[in-house]
Amino acid sequence: MTFPKDGKREVRATLEQHGLSPNKKLGQNFLVDPALLDAIPGDAGVQAGDRVLEVGPGLGGLTRRLLGAGARVLAVEIDHGFVRLLRESLASELNSGALGLVEGDVLASGESLHPEVEDWWKAGPPPRLVANLPYSVSGPFLGRLPGRSLAGAVLLLQREVARKAAAGVGEEGYGPLSIRLALRFSVSLGRKVPADVFWPRPKVESGFLHLNPLGDEKDVEEGILREVLRDAFGQRRKRLLPRLEKSFPEAARRMRELGIPDDARPETVAPSVWWEAAKAVRIPSS
């Protein structure tokens, strides 16, 4: 089988030929703009030999570019029809070991990723993440990244989710996700992408999100930080510190020491203060 061509007409024809059709629930909006697809590996800084995780390869348009840039790719696809198609169209890359293909949900329970992805992640140097993320997965996937070693990420997603991930203190959308990401990565919005680079056209705006590791590993237990933030942002109508004191007294005390008033709104507190607060929490020994 030759590789399916990009372009709206070609993508539609390939799907028809294989008895497939886009599934809205799985966020199947395919990239059909060859120029954009060609640019992504370079924008993501992919170098020959890099390990790259791609979530949702679909027809493999981006996968093929990543392999063309010399990356060793692990692609995770939930839709059996696409996995079947990729096994045929990328058979030689699968045989050579340049490509690994996992069939299943990239998200596992709790804060985990698919077990095969977890094993792959630990089995080599920090990977890059490059993907046109399915909308339903974007938020939970981003939430699983802080605390993992990562060479960098360039992700195409719903512009609103990208804005939320990159929001600074006081900006709309600033919250647990942006705080946790900001403590580990330099997070920035990349370019906006018009709807007609996809087929079918999504109803929402899309854009790139870039994550680059900060380098200075923050010595805070990710699970504690997540719980402190959940508590603080969960009941915003109550006064912040008296409420936080009930579940995390050391965190509330540290915030007072840092000059945070009792009735501060959690969205006005900087990431570095949340970090100090979480670091102060004593983990009960079992």
Min dist CB 58 to ligand SAM, Å, is: 3
Min dist CB 220 to ligand SAM, Å, is: 28
Decide whether 31 or 74 has the Cβ nearer to ligand SAM.
31
Copy the structure tokens of residue 218. Answer: 């923050």
Q: Which residues contact 242 (CB under 8 A, 6 or more apart)?
A: 252, 262
Copy the structure tokens of residue 185. Answer: 């990565």
**What is the secondary structure of 143-207 as a DSSP string?**
HT-TTS--SEEEEEEEHHHHHHHHPPTTSTT-SHHHHHHHTTEEEEEEEEE-GGGEESPPSS-EE
Q: At what angle do helices 249-257 and 240-247 cross, to 10 degrees?
A: 140
Decide whether 42 or 170 has the Cβ nearer to ligand SAM.
42
Phi/psi class of residue 45: alpha, beta or left (left: φ > 0; alpha: ψ in -120 to 50)? left
Tell me how far apart the alpha carbons of residues 72 and 50 are, in angstroms, rounded to a whole number: 6
- Rounded to a whole number of angstroms, the CA Rg of the chain reads 21
Decide whether 132 or 243 has the Cβ nearer to ligand SAM.
132
Q: Residue of minimal CB distance from ligand SAM?
A: 56
Min dist CB 22 to ligand SAM, Å, is: 9
Min dist CB 136 to ligand SAM, Å, is: 6
Tell me how far apart the alpha carbons of residues 65 and 62 are, in angstroms, rounded to a whole number: 5
Tell me how far apart the alpha carbons of residues 205 and 161 are, in angstroms, rounded to a whole number: 10
Decide whether 203 or 237 has the Cβ nearer to ligand SAM.
203
Min dist CB 264 to ligand SAM, Å, is: 37
Residues within the interface to ligand SAM (CB under 6 A): 26-31, 55-58, 61-62, 76-79, 82, 105-107, 132, 134, 137
Decide whether 78 or 150 has the Cβ nearer to ligand SAM.
78
Decide whether 195 or 264 has the Cβ nearer to ligand SAM.
195
Min dist CB 79 to ligand SAM, Å, is: 4
